[in-house]
Amino acid sequence: METKTKEEYVIILDFLPHGYSHDNRPSHKKTPVAQAIGKSNFTLLELVPKKDVFFNLHDEVYIGDGKRDKVHHIAGKLPMDKLTGTARKEVEFVIKDLLKKEPAKFIEFFNKAQPLTTRMHQIELLPGLGKKHMWQIIEERRGEPFKSFEDLKKRVKLIPDPEKVIYKRIISELSGKEKYNLFVDR
């Protein structure tokens, strides 16, 4: 598990131009809020947009250390259970989309995963994968690293859908159910 880098870009999951409905303050004191997920570490964040900025779902927004043109500030990290209904539905779609658009990072995981302890390997943390899967992956990658999800499927017959396995792990990590995080920075 490598050290995580700071999020540079996020994808908007929900935008509340009038703030949260459960906020009891008068409407003129409420702040617009956006819920977003980081592109690199899947960090769930609450953002406050600059004045007169509106977001659409799936907008990609810069939140790095440089000059931000749309975000006033980051209010903080969000736990999965604090997402709005819309954001909760969108998070699934966005993760699946990122898996398809940027598979290299996840293929690299299969190529470089290491033991956590003498009895547990990072590969075994993926849902549905055990020692047999782990050894088959390790044997296959010794000869040549995996190039794509298709390559992985062809060479490791025991894993019919590696994208789905990674997706399930990311959702589980976002929910806070895991001791070790492989993909999510919380």
As averages over each run of 10 residues, the pLDDT of the chain (186 residues) reads 72 92 77 94 94 94 92 93 94 94 94 93 94 94 94 91 95 92 86
Q: Kindly list the distances between the CA atom of residue 83 and the CA atoms of 33, 39, 67, 168, in Å, as whole numbers in the listed order.
A: 12, 17, 27, 18
Token digits of residue 167: 């997706």
Closest CA to 141 of 127, 168, 162: 162
Rounded Cα distance between 82 and 98, Å, is: 22
Residues of the chain with CATH 2.40.50.140: 9-86
pTM, rounded to two decimals: 0.88
Per-residue pLDDT at 1? 41
Residue 2 confidence (pLDDT): 46
Q: Are 58 and 91 in contact (CB under 8 A)?
A: no
End-to-end CA distance of the chain: 14
Q: Which fold has domain 103-174?
A: DNA polymerase; domain 1 (1.10.150)
The pLDDT of residue 38: 94
In this predicted structure, what is the pLDDT of residue 183? 93
| Distance in angstroms (rounded) separating the CA atoms of residues 84 and 81 | 8
- What 3-state DSSP class applies to 153? helix
| pLDDT reported for residue 186 | 65
Which residues of the chain are in CATH 1.10.150.280 domains?
A: 103-174
Q: Domain 9-86 has what CATH class?
A: mainly beta
